[in-house]
Homo-oligomer: A and B are copies of this chain.
Amino acid sequence: MGQSQLKLFMKEYNEQLQNELKNYISTLNAPEILKSAMDYSLQAGGKRIRPILLFATLQAFHQDPKKGLETALALEMIHTYSLIHDDLPSMDDDDLRRGKPTNHKVFGEGYAILAGDALLTYAFQIIAQTPHYEDHLKVKLIEWLAKGAGPEGMVGGQVADIEGETKNLTLEELQNVHKNKTGKLLAYGILAGAMIAEATAQQLEILQQFASHLGIAFQIKDDILDVEGDEAKIGKKVGSDSAKDKSTYPSLLSLDGAKEKLQYHIQEATKALNKTGLETDLLQEMVTLIATRES
C-alpha cells in the first residue's frame, strides 16, 4: 500500500520530468549535435532519486510538487553532467552506464566534455530564468546548488575520491569524501524543496540531519551493491571497487558491518523525519527505497 503510493508518485513526476527535460533541450538555440549529446544522457536517466526527493519534500509541506520543477530540472542536469564527466577515459573510463554506452562512447570525448559543460551551465540559467520564483529564492537556490556541486561539494568530493584510490582511508575520511561527492547534491533535493516551501530555520535544520543520514545510507548501499549486486540490474560490472583496492564501507567494516551501519543511518534518518511534524509518508518510503534498491 505505502510502497505503491511512492510508485504512483514516482511514475507521475518522473514522466513529467522526462518530458520537461526533453522540452528544455529541444527549445535550445544550439547546435543539434550538442543537443543530442545532452539529451542522450538525460534520457538515459535512472530512478531520478534527487528530483523525486525534491518533489516529495514539497508534498511533505502540502505544496504542489510542480513548484519544484525548474529546480528539479537543474538538479538532474547537474547530476547528469557529473556522470558524463566521471565516465570519461581520463576518469573512471566506463563504457557502460545503466546498461547503455556512455556519452563519450557515442559522441566522442570532446563532445561529451562539452555536453557536460553545457548541462552544468544551463542548470543555473534555468533557475535564473524561471518566472515562478522570487529573486530572493532564485539566489538561494543557485547559491546552494553551486556550493553542493562545485569545489566545496561534488567536484571537491570527486577529486578527494580519486586521491583516495591510492590511499587507505579511515572511516571518517571515507565519510567525508562521500558527503561531498554524493551527499550534498542528494541533500540539495530535500533542502531546495524545503526552501521553495518556505520552511522555518528549525525545519531546515532537522531536514539537514535527515538528508545527512540518507546520504550516508545511499553511499553504503552503493558500496554493498558493488560487492553483491546483480550486474544485469546495476547495468555495470560489480566488484570494480575491490578490483581497484578502493576504500569502501565493506572493505573498512566488512560486509556485515556495512549492513549494520546502513541500518543505523536508516533509523536515524527516520527519527529525524518523525521530528519534522510534516506529512512524511513519501519521504519515508524514499528512505526504504534507497536502503533496499537493487541498482
Taking Cβ atoms with an 8 Å cutoff, the residues of A that contact B are 28-31, 33-35, 38, 81, 85, 88, 90-91, 108-111, 113-114, 116-118, 120-122, 124-125, 128-129, 135-136, 138-139, 142-143, 146-147, 149-152, 155-156, 158-160, 162-163
Contact = CB atoms under 8 A, between A and B. Distances in A.
Consensus secondary structure, chain A interface: helix
A150 B135 contact: no
Contact of A121 (B33, B149, B160): B149
B155 A114 contact: yes
B90 A109 contact: yes
Interface centre among A109, A110, A162 (most CB of B within 10 A): A110
A124 B144 CA distance: 10
A151 B121 contact: yes
B118 A146 contact: no
Contact of A156 (B31, B156, B160): B31
A151 B34 contact: yes
B149 A128 contact: no
A161 to B, nearest CB: 10
Contacts of A121: 120, 146, 149-151, 155
29 contacts: A28-B151, A30-B151, A30-B152, A30-B155, A34-B151, A34-B155, A35-B151, A38-B151, A81-B117, A85-B114, A85-B117, A90-B108, A90-B113, A91-B110, A111-B159, A114-B159, A116-B117, A117-B150, A118-B151, A118-B155, A118-B156, A120-B121, A121-B146, A122-B146, A125-B147, A125-B150, A128-B142, A128-B146, A138-B139
